[in-house]
Structure 1
Amino acid sequence: MKTAIVIGATGLVGKNLVDRLAADKRVERVVAVTRRPIEYQSNKIVNQVVNFDELEKYADVFTGDVLFSCLGTTAKQAGSVQEQRKVDFEYQYQAAKISAENGVSHYILVSSSGANGKSISPYLKMKGELEDAVWLLPFKRVSILQPSLLIGERESFRLGETLASWILPPLCMLPFFKRYRPISGDEVAKKMLSISLSSGNAKQIYRLDALFS
C-alpha cells in the first residue's frame, strides 16, 4: 500500500489506526485528515488540516490507495442529532464520494452493530444510511466493520460508554451475550489494517465476532 488516508484520525479507532499504519513497513505514507493540527513522530505521517464543512475545497487531499473512515460523535458532544448527522453521515459520505471520484480503490468504514437505514434509532438510522450510500460509490472494494461497544481511552469522557464498559464484560461471559462483547478501539484498528493489506470481496461486512483476531 503506497498511501492510506484516515479521517477521524484523532478518535478512539483512528489514532490507533494511524499508529499501526505508520509502524507497518508495507505502508509507505499515511495521510491523517484532521480539523486541527496534530504533531506526529513518524515521518510517514502527513497531517492535512481541513474544514469538513467545505471538503470539496480539499479534494486533492483524498488521493491514495485506501480511505479509512473512522469519524464518529454523539448527539451530546455535537449539540443535537442534526449536528451529529453532519459528522456521522454528511462528512463521511462527502469524503468517500471525493475519494471514489479521485480513484481511491478501497474504502473501509467503521460503522456500528445494528446499523439500519430504517431504524427508529436516529444513530443507527444515520449509520445505516451511510452504509447504503457508500455501497453505490464506484470503489473497487468496500469493507464495512460493525463493532459493538468500543472501549479504550478517548479524548473526551462519555459516561454512558464508561458505565457500559464496566457492566458488559462480565455479562458477555454468558454464552448468549458473548458475541456482543465490547471491543477495544485498537482491536478494530488492527482488523482494519489487516483487511486493507489482504484480498477480499468487493463488498463485505464484518460483524461483531469477525472483528476479533
Structure 2
Amino acid sequence: MTQKAIIVGATGLIGAHLTEQLAGEETFDEILTLTRRPQAAASTKVHNHIVNFDRLEEAAPLFQANTLFSCLGTTRKQAGSLAAQYRVDVEYQYKAAQMAAEAGVSHYLLVSSSGANSKSASAYLRMKGELEEKIKKLPFERISILQPSLLLGNRGDARPGEQIGAILLPLICKLPGLKRYRPIEGREVAAKMVRLSQQEQTGIETLRLDQLFTS
C-alpha cells in the first residue's frame, strides 16, 4: 500500500531537514511539499506544489495522504504585523490540519514551541498554545506535538536575537538542572519527527524539550 506524506512549511529550517531526511527513508513512497515559494526536490519521490494559503481549499486534492507534518511558521518581523503572523502561525496551519482530517489523514505532527500556552502573556506563545488546542479537537487517529526550545541551524533569514541566544544558551544550560532547556538543532527535531512517523501508535502526545533529542 502506497504511503504518502505531506509537509507544510518545507522551506523552513526544520521543514527543509525533514524533507531531506524523509527522502532518504523507505517510510513513504511519495512526499508532497506544500510551500509558498519553490523548493528544489530532494529526490524523485518529493513533489513540490506551490499553494496560496489564503485559498488553500483549492489544493484539497493534495491532502489525500497518510501523514501530515506541519512545520510552518514565521516571525512578527517577517510577517509585517502581529495579525499577519497570526494568519500564518494559526490560521494557515489550522486550515491545513482541518483539510487533512477531512481527507482521512491519520497522523498529524506539529512543530509548536516550548512554553506554548493560549493564556500566555507572550503573543507568540499564545498563538502556539491556541493552535495546539484547536488541533487536539480534530479527529486524527494520532497527533504528535513537538515543543522545541531555541532552534539552531542555518536559516535563510537573519534573526539577531536567536543568534545571540544560540551563543549564550548552550553555556547557561551547562549549569545544574538546566540541561534539559538547552537549544536544539533543527535537523534533530526533524529526525525526531521521522522516528515518530515510523511508530505505530494512537492518541495525542506532546514531546517537550529534552524528549526531542535523539541522542
- TM-score class, shorter-chain normalisation, is over 0.9
Match of 1:90, as an amino acid? E
The equivalent of 1:196 in structure 2 is 197
Aligned CA distance change for structure 1 residues 181 and 29 (closer, same or farther; 3 Å): same
Show CA shifts across 1:86-140 (max 9, x none): 1110000000000000000000000000000111110000100000000001111
Q: Is the 8 A contact 2:152 2:184 kept in 1?
A: yes
Pairs within 5 Å for 1:1-213? 2-213=3-214
Q: Please list every run of 5 or more consecutive structure 1 residues that lacks an aligned counterpart in the other structure.
A: none
Q: Normalising by the residue count of structure 1, what TM-score does the alignment of the two structures yield?
A: 0.98
Show CA shifts across 1:33-67 (max 9, x none): 11122221410101011001110111111120100
How many residues get paired? 213
* Structure 1 stretches of at least 4 aligned residues deviating more than 3 Å after TM superposition: none
Match of 1:110, as an amino acid? V
Q: Please list every run of 5 or more consecutive structure 2 residues that lacks an aligned counterpart in the other structure.
A: none
Q: Is the 8 A contact 2:20 2:42 kept in 1?
A: no
Q: Normalising by the residue count of structure 2, what TM-score does the alignment of the two structures yield?
A: 0.97
Q: Is the 8 A contact 2:23 2:42 kept in 1?
A: no
Q: Is the 8 A contact 2:72 2:88 kept in 1?
A: yes
Match of 1:208, as an amino acid? L
Match of 2:23, as an amino acid? A
Aligned CA distance change for structure 1 residues 170 and 65 (closer, same or farther; 3 Å): same
**CA RMSD of superposed structures (Å):** 1.0
CA distance in 2, matches of 1:83, 1:145: 23
Identity of aligned residues (%): 54
CA distance in 2, matches of 1:148, 1:162: 14
Q: Is the 8 A contact 2:141 2:202 kept in 1?
A: no
Aligned CA distance change for structure 1 residues 201 and 209 (closer, same or farther; 3 Å): farther
What displacement does 1:158 show? 0.6
